[in-house]
Amino acid sequence: MQSDLSFLQLVLNASPLVQLVMASLVLASVMSWAMIFDRNRALRRARTAADDFERRFWSGNDLKKLYRGIDRTQATGMAAIFHAGFREFARLMENPGIDPAEVVEGSRRAMRVALSREMDSLESYLSFLATVGSTSPYVGLFGTVWGIMNAFHALGNVKQATLNLVAPGIAEALIATAMGLFAAIPAVVAYNKYSNQVQRLENRYDDFVEEFSNILQRQAHLSASKKAG
């Protein structure tokens, strides 16, 4: 008698525990792909928004006009960092006699807080991708080991062991390993790719904070000099 080794039949004939492992790996894979597409869109938008804001910022436009043109509730990325820094700068400059260094430091702290929020948003789901990428092969291996144990245990109930008897059980078990790799490989590739993109965006944001802080420092000292004069 020939055993049916079709993929669907092997999955249906697997033990309940192995089927549970397979189902969990399929769910992890589906969730991973959903997060992969989400992060791809989010990071692409973040890069586009950063390019657009940098063009406007370095075009020589008045900073107050640029600040008023930003919607605080919808600002993200570099625009949100700029908005937080300039808002704090304007608030501190209203205090008469304040040290320009305190103004710049307060603005820098506000920008750092905004930068931290932006990084938290960009890094969303990356930890899940890392978890799926690192654990899925082991989950699949667990299902494989369990399935092979059941396959060999079943041989104890027959007088003559043949490859035809053990092959379906081993094939069922190996599907779990294949599913584990299928879930892990895209997650690992996406995690490495997106982590690199997030790091590059963070470097851009850090550079902007320092460059904008220098601009605010010059404006603060210029304003202090005018008041002193």
When pLDDT is cut at 50, 70 and 90, the band that residue 143 belongs to is confident
Distance CA 229, CA 215 (A): 21
Number of neighbouring beta carbons within 10 Å of residue 226: 8
Q: pLDDT confidence of 60, banded at 50, 70, 90?
A: confident
- Model confidence at 85: pLDDT above 70: yes
pLDDT at 121: 92
Three-state SS annotation for the chain: CCCCCCHHHHHHHCCHHHHHHHHHHHHHHHHHHHHHHHHHHHHHHHHHHHHHHHHHHCCCCCHHHHHHCCCCCCCCHHHHHHHHHHHHHHHHHCCCCCCHHHHHHHHHHHHHHHHHHHHHHHCCCHHHHHHHHHHHHHHHHHHHHHHHHHHHHHHCCCCCCCHHHHHHHHHHHHHHHHHHHHHHHHHHHHHHHHHHHHHHHHHHHHHHHHHHHHHHHHHHHHHHHHHHC
Nearest to 131 by CA among 28, 26, 1, 14: 28
CA gap 119, 78 in Å, rounded: 11
Q: Are 81 and 96 in contact (CB under 8 A)?
A: no
Q: Which of 3-7, 60-64, 99-103 has the lowest mean pLDDT?
A: 3-7
Which band of pLDDT confidence, cut at 50, 70 and 90, is reported for residue 174? confident
Residue 1 reports pLDDT greater than 60: no
